[in-house]
Structure 1
Amino acid sequence: MTHRFSPATEACLKRAGWRPGRSVRTDHWESLLRAANNPVHASVVDFLREFGGLRVVHPHHRVPGKQDYFHINPSIAAKEFPIREDGLYDDNERVGAPLCAIGTACRDYMLLIMDAAGKVYASMDDYLFLVGNSGFEALESLCTPHEWAEIPQLRESSIYRGS
């Protein structure tokens, strides 16, 4: 798959160890995700194959002169967040699709999750944001200043069945 990053994003990714055509094994992450009942979409496997295991340092978007980072690593996501299917239930409901953990963002304060179409979201507490319509767009959005679209919460009665 061909994609072009901005020079700033490409520099951040290369400092983290990425190069065009990079390919890493994903079986250990796939096993971890399946054990947590995460749907391991083809989009997730393809994304992890090229970008999995990276810790990407980038300029902080809101604090000039500071650095921030994100991980593309389901193992770190599993340590920091309840990634079991029931832990992602509210986010799945809000986007109308099953989501799979792919990493963390904002110094591990946000969970990065991907749907089967490759859209990437960031979740923290009751907040859910669309980071990018593809993994590549999400990486660009994470490395350079972008505003993320917040996904609205569902009415309580639609979240809790039988209400």
Structure 2
Amino acid sequence: MDGRFPRGVDRALRKSGWIPGRTVDASLWRECIRGIEMHVPAERFLTEFGGLSVNIHGLGRSAAKAPFELDPGLCEGEEERFRDWSNTLGRVIYPLGELDHGRFFLGMDELGEIFLVADWLASFGSGDAGLIALCQGVMPTEMHGAP
């Protein structure tokens, strides 16, 4: 373990196929998501974590742990939702994948903040902290109701 993530988070990510230094080609997701520019933080995140399915369940810190899949292709057809939230927030939210088997979507803004995207918008936090919150079952902070 390199100390980057808490033990349980590190274990969940590794079980899903992540290893330190992992890289995948994020360019294929650029082609499936239309009308939303993939910004640098989303590209960096997807290069390291894209394609992972994190199968977690059980009690979390402030919410139940829910499985999530980091595949922007799962958000195909939802581009308008992401554009609407981007306009409301004033920052581009790029699709990252799904939370809880498609019950919610995940996105990241150009500051690296990870969001739950639905009929409401909530933040898990930025970068590694947001990923840790997802893995530990931390309730995201609600930002806005419907746009």
Aligned structure 1 segments of 4 or more residues deviating by more than 3 angstroms: none
Aligned to 1:71: 69
> Matches of residues 49-88 of structure 1 in structure 2 within 5 Å?
49-61=47-59, 68-78=66-76, 82-84=77-79, 86-88=80-82
Q: State the number of aligned residues.
A: 143
Q: 1:31 offset after TM fit, Å?
A: 1.7
Give per-residue Cα distances to partners, 1:3-52, cap 9 Å, x unaligned: 7111111000000000000011112112222xx11121011111111000
Q: Look up the SS of the partner of 1:58 in the other structure.
A: coil
Partners of 1:111 and 1:67 in 2: CA distance: 15
Offset at residue 147 of structure 1 (A): 2.1
Rg comparison, structure with higher value: 1
Return the letter of the residue paired with 1:132.
Answer: G
* TM-score, scaled relative to structure 2: 0.87
TM-score (norm 1): 0.79
Measured in 2, the distance between the counterparts of 1:102 and 1:120 equals 9
Paired position in structure 2 for 1:142: 134
Judged with a 3 Å threshold, the aligned counterparts in structure 2 of structure 1 residues 5 and 46 are, in CA distance, closer, same or farther, namely same
* AA aligned opposite 2:121: L
Residue segments in structure 2 that go unaligned for 5+ positions in a row: none
**Residue type at the aligned position of 1:117:** L
Counterparts of 2:59 and 2:72, CA distance in 1: 24
Q: Name the structure 2 match of 1:132.
A: 125
Separation in 1 of the partners of 2:75 and 2:54? 15
